[in-house]
Chains A and B, each alone.
Chain A
Amino acid sequence: MIHPIPPGTRDVLPDEMRELRRLHLALIEVFESRGYGEVATPAIEYDEVLGRGDGRTAGSAYRFFDESGDLLALRSDMTVPIARLAATRYAGAESPLRFCYLANAYRAVRPQRGQMREFAQAGVELIGAPAPDGTAEVVEVLEAVLDAAGLQRAVIGLGDADLYRQLLSEFGVEGEARDSVLERLAMHDLVGLEAELSELEGIGDEQVATCIALSQLRGGSEVLDEARSIGGAAVERATARIGETYEALADRGAAGRVQIDLGLLRDLGYYSGAILEVYDPALGHVLGGGGRYDGLLKRFGLDLPAAGFALYVERLHIAQAEEQPGGGEP
């Protein structure tokens, strides 16, 4: 008899589980060795509590009432639950706090797309360590964990979440118009971006060209000079922030696989300052990402800067299998 399971969920059988377990252990070992203690939080929480952290994103895709009428939600990542945990259980504790996790999260899927509604994420949260050193530490852990997974060719993109928000303010673009332009930038729809910007009042050809040129700048530290030559106060601030982080990384000898990318824009509402994305040549999809969310903890009443990253464990495993064909032994 065949009994179905919902689309976007899956069973794991022993051969794959054995490989996955090895990967899990390798990841956690790196995290623990760097002082990041593993935590677990419930998959279901109060919708109101999770929603507090979500900002402009829609929040959980799966909500339901429990037997006493409370609205519960399935978490869509681990960053918000850990912010909740830190504010609740560690208020007044000595910072920085270092946590790691390997846990399932839940997101809505579009039909017929092979997307997963239940997926595993592995990552860290560093709470109470400001930029640039806190960011550099997180990137260093990320590099170590990619190495441990056997992904020596993986690249880490480093960008700035505030660049375009501030640049557009500088151009006098605010509110809905700004959100809509940011949306185009996040999707990297350059054609739509150009059309939309051109229609805005007070935006000339020069400003359009600035936005488009910035979004295409990626590479080593020379990119920062190119950006500065494009000019503007917002660009100056963002390149200074990225430059500091990059220098802090170089000091730790950890800048080698970092690609500065002024086109990075992640769609989660809580990012501020540095943002990260991880790629491997073996996979056409992003392996994971992260960055700083200095305002997130405050929403839970603990005013501390924070940074972290999350990797999609199943994608790590696919990339690992591609990089070590026929193997599986680390």
Chain B
Amino acid sequence: MSVEVAGTARAKADGPLKIAVPRGALLGGTLDALDAVGIDTTAVRGESRALIFPGSEVTLVTMRPSDVPTYVEAGAADVGITGKDVLLEQSDRVVYEMLDLGYGRCRMVLAGRKDDERLGESERRLGMMRIATKYPRIAQRHFESTGHQAEVIEVKGSVELAPLIGLADGIVDLVATGRTLKENDLEVREEILVCTARFVANRVAHKLRGGEVDELARKLREATTR
């Protein structure tokens, strides 16, 4: 049989429509939205640790939000839901962004230590701010577009740690309530953008299963803009 050749993961567009569902902060809102359009989500809400929940019309596939563009781009999932932050960070993934679902609202911000002028001082005296983030591309793009010089340091875990022990002068991170910032003695210095959940579709599924994809998008639009 053939091997993986042209950088194209193989996937079938037959059978029930496969929907990539984000676990984590967006899960609740996503399941509510799917309920509202008549898709049964009881199995996903249960205690099961399964990842795939087959149905007759649609199959729900749960995954990390940051994996949604990967699965949808390859066509392993036909459509999916993930945050705008994920789409911007992985802007080279080719997925069709069909709809702003409105929920899961949070802000991407630049934050520094409270009452601490290290951010401005570093830029003035050293020509560079050191910024820790889980979103290196969004951060880099923001500083470039606002004319600031920054050394962007990518970290995987709790980014609040970085300015507290001197890895960075500030952070770029996603903030929902602001509690984590406050507890770590950090404050918002600049708002970069607002992120919400988005409905995305695979390029081929959008063409070959247009009826189903459009219908789902239409119902989701109705359900989320009420």
Interface residues, chain A, CB within 8 Å of chain B?
8, 10, 16, 19, 110, 113-116, 119, 155, 157, 187-192, 216, 218-219, 259, 261, 277, 279-286, 312, 314-315, 317-318, 321-322, 326, 328
Contact = CB atoms under 8 A, between A and B. Distances in A.
The 3 closest A-B pairs by CB, nearest first: A284-B75, A314-B6, A114-B7
Contact of A282 (B7, B10, B92): B10
B222 interface: no
B6 A116 contact: yes
Given A19-B2, A283-B204, 10 more contacts: A8-B7, A113-B92, A190-B99, A191-B98, A218-B207, A284-B9, A284-B75, A285-B74, A285-B204, A314-B5
Given A19-B2, A190-B96, A284-B13, A277 B207 contact: yes
Contact of A283 (B11, B73, B94, B96): B11
Given A110-B92, A190-B97, A286-B203, A281 B2 contact: no
B97 A188 contact: yes
Given A110-B92, A188-B203, A191-B198, A281 B13 contact: yes
Contacts of A281: 12-14, 204, 208
Interface of B: 1-14, 73-76, 92, 94, 96-100, 198, 202-208, 210, 214
A76 to B, nearest CB: 16
A192 B74 contact: no
Given A190-B97, A321-B1, A321-B2, A284 B76 contact: yes
A284 B73 contact: yes
24 contacts: A16-B3, A16-B5, A113-B7, A113-B92, A114-B9, A119-B6, A155-B207, A187-B96, A188-B97, A188-B98, A189-B96, A191-B97, A192-B97, A281-B14, A282-B12, A283-B8, A283-B11, A284-B11, A284-B205, A285-B75, A317-B2, A318-B6, A318-B8, A322-B10
Contacts, number: 105
Contacts of B204: 279-281, 283-286
A59 to B, nearest CB: 19
A216 B208 CA distance: 13
A285 B203 contact: yes
Nearest to B211: A219
A188 B100 CA distance: 13
